[in-house]
A and B are shown apart, each in its own frame.
Chain A
């Protein structure tokens, strides 16, 4: 499986934008890039996903590099509630053997008031 690399931790100020990077240099053409986050004492929750084009939803934006070897999750205005571990995960779009999520260590985002 293609792997992802994320910084262990990042810090942000409340109400400022946050850019969370993810490197995936061995990504294949059929891999989708997914982001999940895990708030303290909760299960992970879906944030956003994309294949080639940048994506926006109510939670965040996903910027994907042209060569797809890296991506960035953008939180436009961080709030204290956004403090969580953010996981960047690759999922094969043509793998019918299963649909599991392979989590790495993720990035722990700390938000300062």
Chain B
């Protein structure tokens, strides 16, 4: 079974530029998550989708971050404009369905973003 795919793996941009990350979850997984992991810290949830609807985006900085999940499958996370503090690894995860506390999340390898 193929895992969660993310691209690109690495991205370097200058501040105030825009950047987009792509995620393809495991086939059949209804729930998709985006996490931000700053160096030395645990991942922090940015947004959670159930199919193509948003379940939780309370920690997404909506003035510069946006995310969408077209047709309930692939997802794109965008930052516009980027700031220095956005330098982090952006992790995508998927799970079969939400509301089940034993539901395992499967993570992709992440995209490492460096903002200069």
A residues lining the B interface (CB < 8 Å): 30, 32, 41-46, 49, 85, 87, 91-106
B residues lining the A interface (CB < 8 Å): 4, 31, 33, 41-45, 48, 55-56, 91, 93, 95, 98-110
Contact A99 to B109, CB < 8 A, known contacts A46-B104, A104-B42: no
| Secondary structure of the A contact surface, majority rule | loop
**Count of CB-CB pairs between chains A and B under 8 Å:** 65
Given the complex, which residues of A lie within 8 Å of B99, measured CB to CB? 95-96, 99
Tell which of B42, B91, B101 touches A91, judged by Cβ atoms closer than 8 Å: B101
Given contacts A43-B110, A44-B105, A94-B101, 20 further A-B contacts (CB under 8 A): A30-B101, A42-B109, A43-B4, A43-B91, A43-B93, A45-B106, A46-B106, A87-B42, A92-B101, A93-B102, A95-B101, A96-B99, A97-B56, A98-B55, A98-B56, A99-B95, A99-B99, A101-B105, A105-B41, A105-B42
